[in-house]
Amino acid sequence: MDPILDIAAYKFVALDDLPTLRERLLADAAAAHIKGTILLAAEGINLVLAGVPEDVEQFLGKLRTDGRFADLEVKRSRSATVPFKRMRVRIKREIIRMNHPTIAPASGRAAAVDALTLKRWLDAGRDDAGRPVLMLDTRNRFEIEVGRFHNALDLGLGRFSEFPDAVERVRERLAGHTVVAYCTGGIRCEKASLYLDELGVPNHWQLDGGILKYFELVGGAHFDGHCTVFDERAALDAELQPAG
């Protein structure tokens, strides 16, 4: 097994002490000798980190002593080397930018489907109610070129903030389907699915944990290609290994 543990996690939760929290996390990361990026905003936290497994787990343990992050769910993979050059903690307006203030995942999330259920639906070609399943890719076009679910709907996004306008243009194509929105690790789908709620789109779900959790639990069934990640590994295969 490769010696480095890579983790990705996010949580939408109200944060009001961002400068203080930033300094604390920088100090904790330095003490744990890990590298990566943490984004903080009033709406929550998003992180991708790597290091020796014991060091990463030490940092996570310390982070979870803060009640706001006690139930933080983490996606894990391994690599031969640390895929980051430094440690950064940045304060942002949004941890994932949509520019749509009415969308607030910290106030409640849209319905989610787990990886095992989705695979069963895709195996059958329909959901449990008999509706055909349409995979809706919420990622940018360059990510989709590397890999996507078979026959997924590509909105042609250059950036995620284009999602609201783009999905409204294809709204008629969603009719009659069970729509499953997906992204890399789940964070974009949190906002995308709430926007589908706002539009009044029926029968839609978000893929819980995104492609990375799907790979972890299911493998590459119904997925063509690799999953883009935003570190030096560039893309992962269905076994969560750097794609060659």
Half-sphere exposure of 220 (CA within 13 A, CB side): 13
Angle, CA of 135, 139 and 144, to the nearest 5°: 75
Q: For the residues 10-16, what does the mean pLDDT come to?
A: 96
For residue 176, how many other CB atoms are within 10 A of its CB?
12
User: Domains (ranges, CATH) in the chain?
Assistant: 4-91 (3.30.70.100), 105-236 (3.40.250.10)
pLDDT at position 244 over 80: no
Altogether, the residues listed in the chain come to a count of 244
- Determine the Cα–Cα distance for residues 91 and 97; give it in Å rounded to an integer: 13
Instruction: Indicate which residue of 63, 113, 183, 189 is catalytic.
Output: 183
Q: Is the pLDDT of residue 181 over 80?
A: yes
pLDDT of residue 80: 95
**Which of 170, 174, 180, 175 is CA-nearest to residue 122?**
180
Q: Of 128, 122, 111, 132, nearest to 192 (Cα)?
A: 111
pLDDT bracket for residue 1 (50, 70, 90)? confident
Closest CA to 97 of 177, 53, 162: 162
Verdict on whether the full-model pTM lies above 0.85: yes
**pLDDT tens sequence across 77-104:** 999 999 999 999 999 999 999 999 999 9
Report the relative pairing of strands 227-228 and 235-236 from DSSP bridges. antiparallel
Q: Is 227 a catalytic residue?
A: no
Structure tokens at 42: 């009033």
Helices (H), the chain: 18-32, 53-63, 115-124, 141-146, 163-169, 171-174, 187-199, 210-217
In this structure, which amino acid lies at residue 169?
Answer: R
